[in-house]
Amino acid sequence: MTTTQAPFVEEAQHRGELYIYQPYDLYSDANHEAWRRLYHRMLPRWEKYGNEWFQRGIRSLCLDPGRIPKIEEVNEFLCPLTGFRAKPVSGYVPAFQFFDCLRQREFPTTITIRSADKLDYLPEPDIFHDIAGHVPMHTDRAFADTLVRFGDCAHTAADLVAGIADEQQKIHTLTSVMKAMARFFWFTIEFGLMKDPKHGMRAYGSGLLSSYGELAHCIDSPAVQRYPIQIEWVINQYFEIDHYQPLLFWVESFDHLFTLVDELEKWMKNGKLNNVAGGEPGVNEQDLASFLRAGR
């Protein structure tokens, strides 16, 4: 079940199956060893750089440091806390379906794991990124509710563009709104920082919490620009995924983040996301289609 080398996943994709089960017996000893190495080297960095809710979440999930977790067992600990559950998928989830899963308190979860020679960086998510990076944050009620509000925003976007008669204007508006949402999600849920009054700057973004090198770099490096989050900055700021992030934004709390997502939806309804700055990320046809179908 190594990333890009998993016939079970490839066959599911060929059959058009997005939501699947976790065939636990297919994990090799090398797969479990990759998890063990990833977990053990991340643990001291989580303790030093991770926010306290993440650390609490790691403890609450009772993850085994020595083997890949069974998703059903993770859900037994997770669901009673916030109603969230990890949902195994065969690969990329189109944008609207992804946000709609969050709205239903489901988190699309990759079941493959990176190979031992790619511990430092993988362009696509794997089970370590999703379960050890994302899911511990889902044990916190305020953070989990914020993810649900992201899902609400996706429905708002689909409904808004459905009312635009001119096809060219509809695609332009939807592309801009999706770009704004993707940037906001990137600079918060994936690469967000929090200014802890007791401990200083800490990471809560899952892209940071699952990266051995970048987790230290984002806090310690003088090369990283760190600013208090402002919606107008975030929605107009492009990002690239293949190197450490040079610019990051911090929030004061997860209640603060929740209010920002509320504000993002208001901006969307008022047309303030209709013409954001160009640049990355790109918006592909599959993601556009997922929103257009939802708004019908």
From 90, 176, 206, 210, active-site residue = 210
Q: Which of 90, 106, 134, 211 is catalytic?
A: 134
Q: At what angle do helices 285-294 and 95-103 cross, to 10 degrees?
A: 50
Query: Is 194 within 8 Å of 253 (Cβ atoms)?
Result: yes
Which residues of 67-224 form beta strands (DSSP E)? 85-89, 106-110, 193-196, 200-203
Task: Establish whether 129 is a catalytic residue.
Answer: yes
Query: Tokens representing 30?
Result: 């090398």
Active site annotation includes 199? no
Q: Give dist(CA 166, CA 5) in Å, integer.
A: 44
Closest CA to 71 of 107, 36, 22: 22
Query: Which is the catalytic residue, given 90, 106, 129, 176?
Result: 129
Q: How far apart are CA 61 and CA 163, in angstroms?
A: 43
Q: Which of 190, 211, 214, 265 is catalytic?
A: 190
- 134: annotated active-site residue: yes
190 is catalytic: yes
Cα 271 to Cα 238: distance, rounded to the nearest angstrom: 20
- Catalytic residue numbers read 129, 134, 190, 210
